[in-house]
Structure 1
């Protein structure tokens, strides 16, 4: 009798866990689709055989002019990227500065600032978006499934050097919450690592490398 009850509890726990994971995965699957770039001046920065999967506008260099960040991918990446063999189809992150005439000027590009489509292992594409606020911008990643984690990498504009430098790198790994409290969060942090300039030193955006453990 006890063994039957234990088995039922294990099945129930698995179903709840799977349901929670499935819900988060379905939300995550909405990311990283091809987006329509309506601005012809922005389209000119997309090379042949690439397409945009993210676009965010804001003030990157504190000049009160709207700038733009775009993330580009190879159109074939779903079939040609192979992180397992160390051959990822790398994505291009562009920092584009808005000009007074409405055009844009490329400040920097980096092919090592956003993870590839299969860098999340069996759970797929970890890239989840970009945010910009007052000279700061963040590149965000997350994975939800049997393994839950997120990483937010933030850069800050240095007016004196006219460049963006790594400001912080925040990585959180989550595990399922075993609490019986019905109001408790489904996931809790298991690992929470926040690195700042004092940990990694001065790293410019163009020299940042997410594929390197050092970050450059």
Structure 2
């Protein structure tokens, strides 16, 4: 998470989940928080200890074939301590792209478990995962959280035909005080000025700017 996002407490937003069934009967949940039905062709890509909190169908690479973008979360087993709180555990949330090949079958094309923050990484606001918006040959992931000081982060990726992968093309960071909502501090980072070529699989919100990667290499 970015340096100015310092508040890490939380509560959780319930995400609906429906088990897999006949693909012809499925309705894909497109918004965070909606109940999600899983097409049979997607089910094999979901580990038994995980469930989807987001699933959307769309052409993500410009080949005019329908792909899928999904975000998974681990099923947290009940602790032996009945007084323990499952929402104190920082579990990763993998974002996965399932691309459709020329044979019509899906393959896992890309995965990143850092771009979507954990359920307790939103401060007292709660779960920071706000939305995913599909764009032409890409998508935008949006996070929102904080307490009195609220923050917003957007990460936009687009498919590169030359490199045959999804790359970071824009980062938006905003923050404001809830008592002064009109006074918004905003900064936008874009390549090549602020960062180089970053593959979706390699993206880390804490280390994507030139200054961050330079520090990491020292």
* TM-score normalized by the length of structure 1: 0.72
What corresponds to 1:130 in structure 2? Answer: 132
Q: 1:115 aligns with which of 89, 114, 117?
A: 117
Matches within 5 A, 1:5-84: 32-34=15-17, 35-76=35-76, 79=86, 81-82=88-89
The offset of 1:102, in angstroms, is 4.7
Alignment partners' CA distance in 1, 2:52 and 2:118: 14
The offset of 1:195, in angstroms, is 0.4
Contact preservation (8 Å) 2:94, 2:116: yes
From the superposition, tell whether residues 194 and 201 of structure 1 become closer, same or farther in structure 2 (CA, over 3 Å). Answer: same
Moved over 3 A (4+): 29-35, 99-103, 211-216
- Greater RCO (Cα-Cα under 8 Å, separation 6 or more): 2
Alignment partners' CA distance in 1, 2:148 and 2:190: 29
Q: How well do the aligned residues superpose, as a CA RMSD in angstroms?
A: 2.6
* TM-score normalized by the length of structure 2: 0.71
Larger Rg: 1
Superposed CA deviations along residues 84-129 of structure 1, whole A, max 9, x for unmatched, are: xxxx211111011124555311101111121001111222210112
Specify which structure has the higher proportion of helix.
Answer: 1
Uncovered stretches (5+) of structure 2, i.e. residues with no partner: 1-11, 18-34, 78-84, 214-218
Uncovered stretches (5+) of structure 1, i.e. residues with no partner: 1-28, 83-87, 179-186
The offset of 1:81, in angstroms, is 4.9
